[in-house]
Amino acid sequence: MRNCKFKIVNLKLKNFKICNLQSAICNSPSPTPLPQGEGARGRGGFTLVELMIAITITVLAMAAVYTSFIVQQRSFTTQDQVAETEVSSKIGFDMLVNDIRTAGFGYPADENPVVNTFTGVVTPGDGGVINRDTITLLGGFRQIATFQNFVPNTPNQIMINYTGSTEFDLIDRRNLSIDGIFFAAINPIAGCTIVNNTCSDAQPLILDRDILVDIPNGRPVYLVEDVTYQISGSDLQRVTSSDTDTLTNNIDDLQFAYGVDINDDGSIDTYRNTPLSTDEVINIRTSVLARTAGEDQTLAPSTKPYFAAGIILENRTTADTDRFRRRIWSMEVALRN
């Protein structure tokens, strides 16, 4: 409390009445009152209305940032899946195309010997309008040994050196081609010395025919085998007599059409799903339909170009009413002469 002194002052003024005045003289002036309306904010605070407005603006800004993040994340995921689909399916498609181009290498088409129950360079498998197609090819697709020499005075016995882990046997790996030119089969009865179920290269291979030409040492020896391409579930597979390899996933369709020369003029007259004779096949139109691993939730199915009619590859139609993104690979591949 302020210290105040009280005094009684007698004033005598002319023409005035004498009054007793009581006054308070204080040591310090009274505080200046705050301007009307400032209230607590004048001391550094905010009103409730101002706080609510600030919170609302912050929430809206955060919502916009979160929405932008979600959109960008979905876009990134979609583009990542599309890129992965294109790369992986292209690798599988290229392997298929390369094998079609190689088909017939080292295989005497004029003789058409049986290789693991198959004859002819190409064996079509038309799946019709419901199933996916298959194809089986014959040829020397891989080198597994090098030629060393003939056993003296025995033109049907040769010595080889293996170059890898794949070796000949007397069951499904007994057909070979030296230099891609000389075809022969290992005699199924005592045609080689069996070690760990395969033919040892320490002992000669006994062939089913004589090779009456000189062959330089070190020339490549190819395994002539059957290779089948098929779809199992959604996996594109490359199947040999001893191995099944999955080349790529998420494949919807595999289709082949065979370009045939009917009048022997060297040009394609028509394409058939199943040729009357594989001897008249000049090239093979090969098509693969791939899709992304997951659906794109931002994609409206009705906006897709094949939504109504579906995706038609040769004689089979794949519905396109879902949210998957798809990619078609197609090429006309010429066979070896």
Whether residue 18 is contained in a domain is answered as: no
Whether residue 95 is contained in a domain is answered as: yes
Q: What is the pLDDT of residues 12-34, one digit of tens each?
A: 444 444 444 444 444 555 555 55
Report how far residue 172's alpha carbon sits from residue 196's, in angstroms, rounded to the nearest whole number: 15
**Of the spans 67-76, 92-101, 260-269, which averages the highest pLDDT?**
92-101
Task: Give the SS3 label for residue 246.
Answer: strand
Whether residue 19 is contained in a domain is answered as: no
What pLDDT, on the 0 to 100 scale, is given for residue 32?
A: 57
pLDDT at 309 over 50: yes
Phi and psi of 335, rounded to 5°? -85, 160
Whether residue 203 is contained in a domain is answered as: yes
Domains: count for the chain: 1
Lowest-confidence segment of 109-123, 162-176, 221-235, 292-306 by average pLDDT: 292-306
Whether residue 140 is contained in a domain is answered as: yes
Q: What is the pLDDT of residues 149-163, one digit of tens each?
A: 999 989 999 999 999
**0.85 surpassed by pTM:** no
Report how far residue 307's alpha carbon sits from residue 300's, in angstroms, rounded to the nearest whole number: 10
Q: Are 40 and 49 in contact (CB under 8 A)?
A: no
What pLDDT, on the 0 to 100 scale, is given for residue 279?
A: 87
Whether residue 77 is contained in a domain is answered as: no
Whether residue 7 is contained in a domain is answered as: no
What pLDDT, on the 0 to 100 scale, is given for residue 79?
A: 77
Q: In terms of residue numbers, what domain contains 105?
A: 83-334
Quote the tokens at residue 26. 């204080």
Per-chain mean pLDDT for the chain: 87
Percent of the chain with pLDDT strictly greater than 90: 66
Whether residue 78 is contained in a domain is answered as: no
Q: What is the pLDDT of residues 216-260, one digit of tens each?
A: 999 999 999 999 999 999 999 999 988 999 999 999 999 999 999
Stretch 197-215: mean pLDDT: 95
Lowest-confidence segment of 250-259, 286-295, 297-306, 310-319 by average pLDDT: 297-306
